[in-house]
Structure 1
């Protein structure tokens, strides 16, 4: 038993000689890998210290994160660097594809768990790694203090600072500089002009006479102005992915009758990124009026939400003379008009004319036969 105890004691006594060299090797690998990743070179992993509260409670100020260069997906925490000494560790919340003249570019949308707004989109090439391990500040700070105390004790015992200790202190100093550097001035994102994303579509809702302007993306719209044919329109409903506006009735009537496209001009601010801007034409379709007779009375129903114009000509026989009545009527949306034949008409024929997409349509029917 005594021999075994002495052997174990001798092993730990001798192994303590190699502790500085093991620490030295580990620190050198960490420093080299971290510097490579910070300056845009390929590296397998790196280490960094959290210096903000934007990711609490997942990452707290003072925690150490170790990241590896590997694939990531929604929900992962990734690290990207704006400058070699200013990196951000945030969670991936969305991917987006930007259509450019040089082809499609994949962008990453990130967000801090402790903040409400999204980060500006970043290119996937700027991601230097995915966080795979977090060491709490309550663990690594005491360990570092113990390691430093151990080294100081050995230095005081030997009275001579060996080369290994000198190199070790240099590496520790470089590590601190690389992973806990001073915070630079804030970097302001430049607005992106013109549109950062394309609209998903502009849709006309025939039941409510509203225009729905939609786009699909993780970047919310925060302020929006919409014009229809150079006329500012009121916003009926608004959310970060859709704007609903209601154009004037006269604009809709002309668009339906004369095939005049509505030109939708939108100026929308995208959260912290840029703006969505452009003009988008849309044609307004609709239904023909419904013409019917009930007991010799003409009923013209407008099945659209916007007003339409109809022209009614009545040719009738009165006292052996053929006469004409010509009138124009504007029928409000989802409304109807009732036209009776002339009081003293012996015979009457009615002709109804209207426009649909620039095309003249008509219907002629006998209205009264003696």
Structure 2
């Protein structure tokens, strides 16, 4: 619950305008005020594994570099901080209509009133510029006035959309974007980001669905490392994308014509059925760190995903799909070297398989060839 009373209010001159149905403000604030009025919503999961926030962790070296620049006389700070404001923020417009010679008619001058609340209860959130804001707060020159662009919304979804769009041209970690995408359903996202939503949504589901054998095993950007998280989300995402992009892939059958959307429930069920069969077929290799099991390694995940596509191509009915996968995997069980021994035909010890395109291709071809030999008999 947000506190209804604030001990202080920051009042700043501002220009108000609109873009569509969204109210915008342009103002200037001392750097020292930014973290008094605005919170930083870190990307994390709550106790129910629901995604919260969107901001990456503080990059200390970057923050320190900016602070040092400011401390050594740097006074030019033209890049605007972008804030999201709650609708309850007060704006006092100047009296009287705009002058007749003003070109922009839908802009109003006035004062923006932003109350100061305790951390976690503030009415503004930093959408872009958290590193700069942190640097300003640490600098010996925190009174430097910086430009601020703010938009009014109480929707975390809108904030996430703007965060992704603003940071597209910056070196924002791809894993962070991928984890945010399932929670961002806006139509304003470019096509390339929209196409990445389905794989990340499926990855989320595999990590949280109560029937998924991978539940709790996938490492995501929002989660601190734990003993149970042994598979990187990048490995799962790549496996899903390969299947979606393969014309005869197990998941491609469920895509809608002309785009990456489609029957997500059937995609998820196919993934659950296959990986449950993998777990049951190779129980001694399941759930171990990649250093102890190449089945949980990125190369193993990719190769098994290719094998899933090969097996699914022979499915005649979705009924009994899990049992079908288990029967087919049993054909190659004795020939796999996930935790010990040597891979036949590769002349490689089990732990010599690395996450390189060459090794992934070799392991994938080996599994598919082993399977092809078994079904011919």
The TM-score bracket by the shorter chain reads under 0.3
More strand by share: 1
Larger of the two Rg values belongs to structure: 1
TM-score by length of 2: 0.24
Q: Which has the higher contact order (CA 8 A, sep 6+)?
A: 2
TM-score by length of 1: 0.24
